[in-house]
Amino acid sequence: MNVTLKGIHKFYGKVHANRGITVTFRQGTIHGILGENGAGKSTLMKILAGYVPRSDGTILIEGQPADYSSPQEALKHGIGMLYQDPLDFPALTALQNFTIGQPSAPFLSPEKKFKKIFQELAGHFNFSIQPDSLLENLSLGERQQLEIIRLVAAGAQLIILDEPTTGISVHQKEALFSALKQLASAGKTIVLVSHKLEDVMALCSEVSVLRQGECVGHMTAPFDKETLLKHMFGRVPAPVSRCIVEKGSSLLWMEGVSAVWKNIRIRRCSFRVKEGEIVGIAGLEGSGQAVLLRTAAGLIQPVEGNIYWRREQITGRERRFFKNKGIFFVPADRIQEGLFPDLTLQEHYALTFFEESLIIPHKGSKEVASERVRTFSIKGRESQRVTELSGGNQQRLMLSLLPTDPQLLLLEHPTRGLDIESASWLWKHLQRLSSKGAAIVFTSGDLDEIFSVAHRVVVFFEGRIVLDENVDHVSVKDVQKAMAGVFRD
């Protein structure tokens, strides 16, 4: 299916998010949409998917104007979207989520019919999701896989994927790429929204670049990386490098800790982090990294072992106690765990920085909001709701809610959804905190990121720490082997 967006404009109040964008998506191709955070990528795709109305412009399907005002109507036109944070129902099973929006069978049992379709499609794309699994127990990558087969079963001919490789494992990324290539070969039109040049260059035959709401460039493969970067940012961003800090005394350490969260377990893990240290945690998704961070933050109680903070045993203490010690956690799932989707930026700052007040001062919260939005370069207004921000700006908002003097930051995929320049800005900010003595522990599916900024790398495999080394003493290959369960002698 060939689809053209012609002269698309979108206003959010005074904000001109899309400025007369024209682009064509051709049948049987994978078309990349590149741009920095806040460039208008997600807004444009939500217009195409019927999630938000356009202010002006035309959508043409096979040359004919198409009007629709909801995702359901868009899907009837053959257009479906996998959102950056999947719009699903955590309390339902994978199969129940799969059947939502599907036409019912007139003679067969719908559950039996859809289970058969589910299993056939999952097997066709080599996805490992099981129909009876509760959605809340699935990883982000598995939820994306579920949404892809749901859209295919519903008849989508053009499938939009918004930052699909952010926060998923290497194995899931390989499975995703294979599925997208199969879909394009079968005649589907794939639109890949991303800020990751390596993903776009590996998959796409055409690329359009957005900047400040406008389409500033269009290229066909093969692509020149430097040209793409200049289109995105106006220049080639400087890479971030590891900072040298004087590591102090031990802040937090765990001894033989076992814990469980969402059916993922860690077993007898011993782990220590010092003042000023930046530690990167690697591992296949579901190996235990998420459990370790939440246990260290006081969000999960260990079933075995002890946790210490500056020599004080804090095992079993409530989350507020950890917070008062200066320990803060930032989750990967912004919408489900990190933010309130329907609250404004100012309301988030009011709840965070005036939580002890019986009456929240409007003027004070507005001043804090203005200062934080400016300091963290959030592209949005204090009065905007979280859902109106791009994914990258939602990430900046979460980080801006942290105090200026934390003792320990536990970050789950902190650069998720951030473009190269924003990720560089983030790490420079975190390195400034590190230089003041704050310890930073983060998970990442990007080993290049870990080796670029971390002083130490920790690898999880099946709930256990199997490698814990200074990054100068191991190679990327060593870490990859440990992630796969092949350990050094």
Res 104: pLDDT: 60
Phi-psi sector, 235: left (phi>0), alpha (psi -120 to 50), beta: beta
Instruction: Give yes or no: residues 115 and 19 share one domain.
Output: yes
pLDDT at residue 106 in the model: 47
Torsion 333-336-339-344 (CA) sign:
positive
Is residue 40 located within the same domain as residue 179? yes
71 plus 151 within the same structural domain:
yes
Q: What is the pLDDT of residue 167?
A: 67
The 10 Å Cβ neighbour count of residue 201 is 16
Tell me the per-residue pLDDT of 15-29, one tens digit each, with 9 for 90 and over. Answer: 899 999 999 999 999
Report if residue 169 sits inside a domain. Answer: yes
Phi-psi bin for 57: left (phi > 0), alpha (psi -120 to 50), beta?
left
Domain containing residue 313: CATH number? 3.40.50.300
Same domain? For 280 and 297 the reply is yes
Cα 483-486-489 angle, rounded to 5 deg: 125
411 to 3, 76, 127, 395, 459: CA distances (angstroms): 39, 40, 28, 11, 16
- 334 occurs within a structural domain: no
Same domain, 137 and 250: no
Q: Rounded to 10 degrees, what is the CA torsion of 172, 386, 321, 468?
A: 30
Which residues are paired to 153 by β-bridges?
none
Q: Which of 316, 333, 165, 342 is nearest to 262 (CA)?
A: 333
- The verdict on 362 and 250 lying in the same domain is no
- The DSSP line for 300-314 is S--SEEEEEETTEE-
Q: Is residue 332 in some structural domain?
A: no
Last residue of a domain, one of 402, 432, 448: 402
Measured CA to CA, the distance from residue 266 to residue 125 in angstroms comes to: 30
Structure tokens at 76: 């009837």
- What is the rounded CA–CA span in Å between residue 46 and residue 462? 38
CB neighbours of residue 408 within 10 Å: 22
Q: Which residue range forms the structural domain that includes residue 476?
A: 237-326+404-488
pTM of the complete model beyond 0.85: no
On whether both 410 and 311 belong to a single domain, the answer is yes
Q: Tell me how crowded residue 171 is: count the other CB atoms within 10 A of its CB.
A: 15
Place of tokens 């077993």: 267
Same domain? 188 vs 302: no
Of the candidates 411, 263, 260, 254, which has an alpha carbon nearest to the alpha carbon of residue 327? 411
Q: Is residue 333 part of a domain?
A: no
- Residue 133 token pair: 């699994």
| Closest alpha carbon to 58 in 5, 2, 19 | 5
Same domain, 383 and 450: no
How high is the pLDDT of residue 107? 45
Taking residue 14's Cβ as centre, other Cβ atoms within 10 Å add up to: 6
| Residue after which a domain boundary falls, among 233, 259, 285 | 233
Phi and psi at residue 311, to the nearest 5° = 75, -5
Q: How many domains does the chain have?
A: 3
Sign of CA pseudo-dihedral 280, 283, 288, 291: positive
Number of Cβ within a 10 Å radius of residue 358 = 5
User: Final residue of a domain: which of 196, 211, 233?
Assistant: 233
> What pLDDT is stored for residue 112 in this prediction?
83
Along the chain (489 residues), what's the average pLDDT of each consecutive run of 10 residues?
A: 96 89 97 89 94 96 95 94 84 91 60 90 92 88 90 95 79 88 96 88 94 93 89 78 84 96 92 96 90 96 96 93 95 88 93 79 89 89 88 87 94 85 88 94 91 96 95 92 78
In a domain, 331, yes or no: no
